[in-house]
A and B are shown apart, each in its own frame.
Chain A
């Protein structure tokens, strides 16, 4: 009876439309995501490099685990330490799209970088010098090339060269993979010794398998560098002391010991389905700040409008001159 009334009134129209309301149950959290590290102040980097790329070592501010906007401590395990020179890395290697045309560079130097785990390589070409992430067997004097051509037949990639992922053969080991075919997108696979694999090609998309075995479907034009990243033996290297850890800006954990409960430990779950990265996420619109007048706050509009002085406490009492 009530439901039929409700239908007449249109209250249940939601259920009839194409949008299906899915009930969400608040299940226990599936592990916690790692906190943002907030190591370097990127606005300071922008200021010091003038918004342009430079291969020169920079001395940029460290955030020490603090949020760049609010300045509040977000990650309590980051902070302090020695300030190392910062090298800007060019993650977006773009080359000519014509068939057979490549942009060649020579590796001038491969060195370690205190600010990241894998080694970095200084490359020089026609357009200038830049730092890239060094692959496993990259050494000074190597010639590396970049091609933006999407070939019809899969290409067997050469280590250190950059190609669009759509033109690489399945099974190729790649790193520094753009998420979207834009010059400002984030990249996958940047840590030492890691690599992703090309799984298959599907139309305009290519499926890659990341080091944590999740599969992502990316645009074919996204560029990636062939090979595994250098400094794979970083895991076997040790800081040696807690003090040395702190010199690099990593702080010890602190707090009372809590006994682990049933939510800890590995849950054996099926891998998530392939995630497709189609369009770059739009930045949310900036917050606006408004100040309401007393009249606005009083809520006395239209017919209820009174004289401006009345909400301010005006009375008809006479005051001495």
Chain B
């Protein structure tokens, strides 16, 4: 056998196992000293039990029972309701689910009579004829669509025809942000133009992205389960001047509108599109709630789902309900429970280059039919007015296509159309 400098590691064989087991067994054979309770433990005075003792023999059973009761009470503490949790669930409207029956359903829920188109007096209001150049409107749209330098990760693109293609993820300005910038710019034009023509006396107080939550109960649909209307409009426009909430329709018009029947949407129940959830707070949530201001309008934008876009009816229903929430918030701010005089709140929704204009005149706070309550609200709507033709989110807009200034003028008329105080 040749000399080997390094011996190969020998494999563990059966003799090794035998040796190991002998060592192991001999170790196991060694007697351990009997356990004695240490002096320190004795000094504590803790009850000590034999581990092999029969379970039921001593008072140990009581101790176990006690521990079980304690554990159960802990579980009960964990399972108990949150101290602010309301005992009943509520319908939640958050603008996430489209209304099945569109405008009719929204009208039924808000107990309002729908007037398609803004009133003539508002449309041809001379104070609302602002001298705003078309180029300014184009620029305000391009501000959102082109000039904004945001580079956020945009959503995955869905191509309904070539559904198997995985498109590159693009970075740019999200659609909601683009639309919000456009709404901001349009509002600024309205405010500055209003000052120029003296249609506005006071400046507007604008809050951005502030939450809005309204709790409604009672009536035909919400007596058992209340309704919570939630929204987060990008712009909540308020004014210290109360003329901004002056109603457009006088008492005679309101009376005639109240005689009109509400739409019948049988067999659909108007509440099927609401989510049911527990609530923890039924207080009104409105920005500048404590201040002496009045809600002039709420403006917000939506992004259409790529796979399941909403119809123009569903968009308008969403606009009506959100504006209704703002109107109710205005009517019940500072703890008011009754509506002393009718108020009017405007809503503007920008979806895919289309404006949904809403003017909600709140004549009654009672949400639904309640026996003797015959009063109804009035809502003027302009559905899906195309302000411009947008590009899909993955394309860069170079020039504003098909800008419609009539739509912009309607928007201005809505924002600067105030009810005449002497008419009421």
Is there contact, CB below 8 Å, between A125 and B269? Answer: yes
Per-residue B-contact encoding for A213-232, CB less than 8 Å = 1, 0 else: 00000000000000000000
* In the complex, chain A residues 100-156 whose Cβ is within 8 Å of any chain B Cβ: 104-106, 108, 124-129, 143
Instruction: Give the A-B contact count at a CB cut-off of 8 A.
Output: 44
Decide if B6 is an interface residue (CB 8 Å cutoff). no
Partner of B272, one of A85, A128, A320: A128
How far apart are A194's CB and chain B's nearest CB, in angstroms? 27
Chain A residue contacts of B25, Cβ below 8 A? 319
Query: What is the number of residues of chain B that contact chain A, defined by CB distance less than 8 Å?
Result: 17
Is there contact, CB below 8 Å, between B164 and A104? Answer: no
Is there contact, CB below 8 Å, between B272 and A319? Answer: no
Chain A residue contacts of B29, Cβ below 8 A? 319, 321
Decide if B12 is an interface residue (CB 8 Å cutoff). no
A57 with B22, Cβ < 8 A, contacts A82-B164, A321-B29 known: no
Decide if B268 is an interface residue (CB 8 Å cutoff). yes
Decide if B30 is an interface residue (CB 8 Å cutoff). yes
Is there contact, CB below 8 Å, between B308 and A57? Answer: yes
Chain B residue contacts of A125, Cβ below 8 A? 267-269, 272
A247 with B164, Cβ < 8 A, contacts A143-B267, A319-B22 known: yes
Closest to A244 in B: B164
Partner of B268, one of A57, A106, A320: A106
Among A124, A125, A126, A127, residue most surrounded by chain B Cβ atoms (within 10 Å) = A124
A319 with B26, Cβ < 8 A, contacts A57-B307, A247-B164 known: yes
Q: Size class of A's contact patch?
A: 10 to 19
Chain A residue contacts of B100, Cβ below 8 A? 108, 124, 129
Q: What's the Cα separation between A106 and B269 when bound, in Å?
A: 11
Is there contact, CB below 8 Å, between B267 and A126? Answer: yes
Is there contact, CB below 8 Å, between A104 and B26? Answer: no
Q: What's the Cα separation between A113 and B273 when bound, in Å?
A: 22
Among A127, A143, A319, residue most surrounded by chain B Cβ atoms (within 10 Å) = A319
Q: What's the Cα separation between A149 and B11 when bound, in Å?
A: 81
Is there contact, CB below 8 Å, between B268 and A124? Answer: yes
Q: What's the Cα separation between A85 and B163 when bound, in Å?
A: 12
* In the complex, chain B residues 233-269 whose Cβ is within 8 Å of any chain A Cβ: 266-269
Is there contact, CB below 8 Å, between B307 and A85? Answer: yes
Chain A residue contacts of B268, Cβ below 8 A? 106, 124-126
Chain A residue contacts of B164, Cβ below 8 A? 82, 247
Closest to B24 in A: A319
Among B25, B29, B100, residue most surrounded by chain A Cβ atoms (within 10 Å) = B100
Q: What's the Cα separation between A124 and B26 when bound, in Å?
A: 80
Q: What's the Cα separation between A82 and B100 when bound, in Å?
A: 29
Partner of B26, one of A57, A126, A320: A320
Is there contact, CB below 8 Å, between B272 and A321? Answer: no
Is there contact, CB below 8 Å, between A124 and B272? Answer: yes
Is there contact, CB below 8 Å, between A126 and B307? Answer: no
Is there contact, CB below 8 Å, between A105 and B163? Answer: no
Q: What's the Cα separation between A247 and B164 when bound, in Å?
A: 7
A320 with B22, Cβ < 8 A, contacts A104-B267, A124-B100, A128-B272 known: yes
Q: What's the Cα separation between A182 and B22 when bound, in Å?
A: 67
Q: What's the Cα separation between A143 and B265 when bound, in Å?
A: 12
Chain A residue contacts of B266, Cβ below 8 A? 104
Q: What's the Cα separation between A159 and B101 when bound, in Å?
A: 23
How far apart are A75's CB and chain B's nearest CB, in angstroms? 22
How far apart are B92's CB and chain A's nearest CB, in angstroms? 15
Q: What's the Cα separation between A75 and B336 when bound, in Å?
A: 67
Return 23 A-B CB contacts under 8 Å, by A number.
A57-B307, A82-B163, A85-B307, A105-B267, A106-B268, A124-B101, A124-B267, A124-B268, A125-B268, A125-B269, A126-B268, A126-B272, A127-B269, A127-B272, A128-B269, A128-B272, A129-B100, A129-B273, A319-B22, A319-B26, A319-B29, A320-B26, A321-B30
A interface, CB within 8 angstroms of B:
57, 82, 85, 104-106, 108, 124-129, 143, 247, 319-321
A106-B267, A319-B29 are known contacts; what are 5 more A-B pairs with Cβ within 8 Å?
A57-B308, A106-B268, A125-B272, A127-B272, A247-B163
